[in-house]
Amino acid sequence: MQDKTTPAGARRISVLGAGAWGTAVAMALAARHDVLLWGRNTAAMQEMAAARDNLHYLPGHPFPPGLRIATDFDATVAHAATNAAGQDGLLIAACPVAGLRPLLEQLKHYTIPNIVWLCKGFEYGTGLLPHQIMQQVLGDSVASGALSGPSFAQEVARGLPCALTIASHSAALRDCVVSVMHGGNVRVYSSADLVGVEVGGAVKNVLAIATGVADGLGLGLNARAALITRGLAEITRLGTALGGHVETFMGLTGMGDLILTCTGDLSRNRRVGLALAQGKALTTIVAELGHVAEGVPCAKAVRELAARLGVDMPITNAVAGVLFDGDQPQALVAQLLARDPRGEASLPIKPT
């Protein structure tokens, strides 16, 4: 990794995690900033550096000239530190939820100005959201937040339009991320509702599995629309029970991300549902996917959390039954259709 003078007006950014989404974000940022992309597998990173392409997770999308590949963790973290002019860099954690705690534990030994995570889900075993994991490991000493929204890595890597939300309790961090990322084909909104943004990003993956099952069984577009609509109600019930704001679930990180993940052919979680409908075993599906489908572990975590909180989440429960209890995919639909009729509650939406 060679030293490089930071361009005037650019930020120094380090992306920790070289999966599809981490790579796509690094590619998008490298057009205007000094970006390092780091991954744990040194051999894989060396291959990326030579090919100028993430052949395993994001093939066919050549890296822009400004993107540098890193294998030295110390140097990568130091790259995102505050520079001599007092301008903060930006550290981006691009790992799955299961890898966030180990990564943060590793970062405890460094001085970092801030960190933003890209993962969406609840930590299995604890039921914690990413910001709660962050609180446990690093406390309040580091400005932090979640970058979320409807986004497929392949489209971002191609430079197609995308709208995201940065959620943080720190106004300074929100401003930093907006200034760094907003521009070109990427639009970034900000939110102080960290809980709402994270819940929306997590639970929509579970609901995408349900819509994949319905599509795989040939149940039609009417059924898909019903699942998405009632799924949004489930997200909102859980999110508000945890302290999220209703209007957040009507926005990019709620409704927007839900629609994309439930309908897009690039959705890994939807592909899990399609494969379940074909009768494939979960272990086979995960192996064939080659990527992490966060909706799988999230379904179990959300089912347990909703039960503790007394939140009604029938679609999530049905998905978890198919994934972990041996229920047949057809049972998911039968279980939902067998529910007693009731009134459809309307959700209050604050004017924007």
Is 120 designated active site?
A: no
Contact 45, 70 (CB under 8 A): yes
Instruction: State both tokens at 29.
Output: 């940022």
Contact 73, 106 (CB under 8 A): yes
Catalytic annotation, pick one of 108, 120, 204, 350: 204
C-alpha span between 315 and 339 (Å, rounded): 11
- Indicate the angle between helix axes 220-241 and 295-309, nearest 10 degrees: 50
3-state SS track over the chain: CCCCCCCCCCCEEEEECCCHHHHHHHHHHHCCCEEEEECCCHHHHHHHHHHCCECCCECCCCCCCCEEEECCHHHHHHHCCCCCCCCCCEEEECCCHHHHHHHHHHHCCCCCCEEEECCCCCCCCCCCCHHHHHHHHHCCCCEEEEEECCCCHHHHHCCCCEEEEEECCCHHHHHHHHHHHCECCEEEEEECCHHHHHHHHHHHHHHHHHHHHHHHCCCHHHHHHHHHHHHHHHHHHHHHHCCCCHHHHHCHHHHHHHHHHHHCCCCHHHHHHHHHHCCCCHHHHHHHHCCCCCHHHHHHHHHHHHHHHCCCCHHHHHHHHHHHCCCCHHHHHHHHHCCCCCCCCCCCCCCC
Given the structure tokens 């760094």, which residue do they identify?
180
Residues paired with 13 in a beta bridge: 35, 90
The residues assigned a catalytic role are 204
